[in-house]
Amino acid sequence: MNDKHYYTLDSFYKKKFGKKVFKVNLNLGFGCPHQKNGGCIFCAHEGGEFAGNKEDSILKQFTEIKERNEKKWPDAYMIGYFQAGTNTYASLEVLKKCYETVLGFDGVVGLSIATRSDCISKEVMDYLERLNERTFLTVELGLQSAHEKTLKFIRRGHSLENFTSCVKDLKKRGINVVVHIINGLPFESKEDMVFTAKFLNDLGIDGIKIHMLCVLENTYLGNYYKQKPFHLLSLDEYVDIVCEQLRVLNKNIVIHRVTSDPILSELIGPKWLVKKFVVLNSIDKEMRRKNIYQGDLVKDVNFSNGKAF
């Protein structure tokens, strides 16, 4: 449905719903439970920099973002995207009220809920299963890396086992799962990063968001980098890694993003990240130049020995 060599989110939505779909990014103000432990070392805003204002009601946030996007896509459907913070970090009663409110808005065809694998209780999981029967539901989970040593270094706050168990539970209930990963984390090699994609491919996820590490001001990682500079991927290195990651992902896994959106005034590095369309175009050009496609190496991926777990 487009000239890219990978399965884009826009293509997926148009195939599923028959026309353009855009997300309405919301901020419930729940925050992140991991912040009390210092949070992840790269986190500056608990996620959701482009979501609504948490001081505003859900209706006001939704209306403002909807009206802005409708200028570009006047006839589109909408996904209510609970983006900022950990959006299962509240009582079931509060969560139901928030989710059901957005589902009641005209034009909404689904919900996308960003959260942590260690922050979905049994009762919330049961509710999500019922919710999934009534709408198109996606649960987004941050992983960042499939390597325990990296998870500990970045202070992720949960284990790989916890994440894997959560994904399997969601998939058992038929819920669509999208996972965030970060390339360029300190001390990881290209092979480490490609392995993370292979690991998720074998786990049977439905979608992926690939980010480049943003070293930001006013974060633990930013201070660490100033004191002990580590290698930041060049644009060429990043493009090469993303292309290889796409090649080991099944063709039916939806690629939600392949780069990051840092705020320039807070960015320490890498500076090339601010040129988003240069990054996107570079990935497209490299895949066309090499004549490679998403999934064209999947036949060579074999985790039958259970090593990935």
- Domain limits of the chain? 9-298
Cα–Cα distance, 86 to 89 (Å, whole number): 6
- Give which of 201, 180, 199 is closest to 191, Cα–Cα: 199
Task: Indicate the pLDDT class of residue 36, thresholds 50, 70 and 90.
Answer: confident
Q: What is the DSSP letter of 232?
A: P
Assess whether pLDDT exceeds 80 at residue 234. Answer: yes
Per-residue pLDDT, averaged over 32-36, amounts to 81
pLDDT of residue 48 exceeding 60: no
> Please, is 305 exposed, middle or buried when counting C-beta atoms within 10 Å of its C-beta (0-12, 13-18, 19+)?
exposed
Task: Give pLDDT tens digits for 62-92.
Answer: 999 999 999 999 999 999 999 988 999 999 9
Topology at the third CATH level for domain 9-298: TIM Barrel (3.20.20)
d(CA 93, CA 100) in angstroms, rounded, equals 11
The predicted model gives 23-29 an average pLDDT of 94
Quick one: pLDDT at residue 302? 45
Mean local confidence (pLDDT), 168-176: 98
Task: From 58, 60, 97, 57, select the one nearest 81 (Cα to Cα).
Answer: 58
Percentage of the chain beyond pLDDT 90 is: 83
Choice among 33-37, 44-48, 200-204, 250-254 with the minimum mean pLDDT: 44-48
Cα gap 103→157, rounded to integer Å: 31
| Average confidence (pLDDT) over 102-131 | 97
